[in-house]
Amino acid sequence: MSKVTVEDLRKFGKIRYFCDLTTRNIQLWNDTLTARLKTQSSVHGYHKRLKPYIAEAKSLQLIKDNPYDNMPRISRGKSESIKFLTEAERKRIEDLELYGPTEKARDMFIFSCYTGLAYSDLIKVNRTTIFEENGKYFIMDQRVKTGGEYRLTILPPAMAILEKYNFNINLMTNQKCNENLKIIAHMANIHINLTMHVGRHTFATWALSKKVPIATVSKMLAHTDVKMTEKYARVLQNSVDDGFDHLLDCM
């Protein structure tokens, strides 16, 4: 089970033992998730990660009934389109002359664009997680969300940001970063909801557009399943299809 799910159940407090896995408690947990999370797809994700363990507990006769059997189906919600920046858009943000909080938020975002790290993993980067080998520098750690280990090469733009902040880029909260990124998006004439996680999406689509194999990109992102990475390939294909549709309209 993912660390995020375990931690959320711990905070919820009503599901600690096998006997607590009741339909009522699962429904109460679902209510707290729905109230806290922004999208139904996120709520569904928590249940999706818990269900296999409940099924295994039942098969081992640790619980009598599967609590989900007596609940309405948990909706997946509407799938959200992946937001990412083109190289030109990323460059516009890199070239902005910024100061104070906007500069720090921009640098954290660009670091994500060149590493693929989510905010929760990005803020853990420091000298203890960086290693040198044959003249190259790497970040080695475990993802907060899944616990999966990863090793990634620090590309020059990312290294420049680390050196700028003395290898400590835990500069502000995710919320503050996203607030400043809205200002930055306006300044760079970018018309999407710019958040820290867009940096991770930007890295993935950029790597795939440069013909890095999808299995390799999956490992770069520390995905537990290559199917998680395939969504980026589908986004790129949709962009190609839209391009051809635009050409047809011009004929």
Tell me: the pLDDT tens digits for 128-152?
A: 999 999 889 999 998 887 777 888 8
Q: What pLDDT does residue 216 have?
A: 84
CA nearest neighbour of 239 among 87, 112, 116 = 87
Cα separation, 251 vs 246, whole angstroms: 9
Q: What pLDDT does residue 203 have?
A: 92
25-42 mean pLDDT = 88
Cα separation, 165 vs 124, whole angstroms: 14
Tell me the three state secondary structure of residue 139.
strand
Strongest mean pLDDT among 63-67, 103-107, 115-119, 233-237: 103-107
Reading the block at residue 32, the tokens are: 């707290």
pLDDT at 239 over 60: no
Mean per-residue pLDDT over the chain, rounded? 87
Q: What pLDDT does residue 184 have?
A: 97
Reading the block at residue 27, the tokens are: 């429904």
Q: What pLDDT does residue 42 have?
A: 82
CA nearest neighbour of 96 among 194, 206, 115, 105 = 105
Question: What's the pTM value of the predicted model, to 2 decimals?
Answer: 0.66
pLDDT at 98 over 90: yes
Q: What pLDDT does residue 183 have?
A: 96
Cα separation, 117 vs 139, whole angstroms: 10
- Which has more pLDDT, 11 or 79? 11
Cα separation, 67 vs 158, whole angstroms: 46
- Which has more pLDDT, 175 or 208? 175
**Confidence class for position 247, pLDDT limits 50, 70, 90:** very low
Q: What pLDDT does residue 246 have?
A: 46
pLDDT at 79 over 70: no
pLDDT at 107 over 80: yes
Q: What pLDDT does residue 113 have?
A: 96
Cα separation, 129 vs 241, whole angstroms: 41
Query: Angle at which helices 196-209 and 226-249 pack, to 10 degrees?
Result: 80
- Which has more pLDDT, 117 or 143? 117
Q: What pLDDT does residue 241 have?
A: 54
pLDDT tens-digit profile of 155-203?
A: 999 999 999 999 999 999 999 999 999 999 999 999 888 999 999 999 9
226-231 mean pLDDT = 75
